[in-house]
Amino acid sequence: MDAAAWDERYAASELVWSAGPNAFVVEQVVAHLSDRVPGRAIDLAGGEGRNAIWLAEQGWQAELVEFSPVALEKAAAIAHSRDVTLTTTLADVTAEPDIAPADLVLVCYLQLPSEPLARALAHAASLVAPGGQLLIIAHERDNLAHGYGGPPDPAFLPTVAEVLSAIEGQGLDVAEARQVHRPVDTEAGPREAIDLLVRASRPDATGQE
């Protein structure tokens, strides 16, 4: 889908995605970053800003990068209603936009075919500042046969190995790279989605992460 198609989708409903942050984002930030003073965070292709706005509420200087103007407008309105500051940037993450490095770089459910996805993930990894972290969450390919929801096309479903290959050579140390299971409430009862989670960090000037 191009930007116009996403604009149409975002304009068609009050919220395409849930209002609250992704549970894995909360879990990882609380577990691994809560002992730090919140710094700069960028959420690449973050839709209506649910994760970026939550980060702003935790004290982060959050920037939402999206190629859908409608999504950015909705995110800005939500941030205003929740009395937080959110920087919004109109850009296509596959075009390697010129964005300042950040202490936390988030890529959450970026739905792209393998080649542009790999390019976007490599660029995301390059944006991690010294001492910063990269967090990638995506629908995993096993979800197609064994999980619930997500894209029906395997070309849009990366594996953990493919994500690691995409960020290789960017100077990051991988801390976690695994499948994770996410509960989903449906009309037929609880189901489970299979996602992937990759967390990596860049050593600071002293070599510490």
203 close to 30: Cβ distance less than 8 angstroms? no
Domain boundaries, the chain: 41-201
2 burial type by CB count under 10 A (0-12 exposed, 13-18 middle, 19+ buried)? exposed
Higher confidence at residue 184 or residue 135? 135
95 close to 72: Cβ distance less than 8 angstroms? no
**Full-model pTM:** 0.90
Whether residue 98 is predicted with pLDDT greater than 80 in this model: the reply is yes
Class of 41-201 per CATH? alpha beta
pLDDT in tens, 138-174: 999 999 999 999 999 999 999 999 999 999 999 999 9
Whether residue 16 is predicted with pLDDT greater than 90 in this model: the reply is no
126 close to 161: Cβ distance less than 8 angstroms? no
pLDDT at 188: 84
Whether residue 114 is predicted with pLDDT greater than 70 in this model: the reply is yes
pLDDT tier at 3, thresholds 50, 70, 90: low
pLDDT tier at 7, thresholds 50, 70, 90: very low
Task: Please name the residues in contact with 11: beta carbons below 8 A apart, sequence gap of 6 or more.
Answer: 70
Spatial separation of the C-alpha atoms in residues 206 and 203, rounded to whole Å = 7
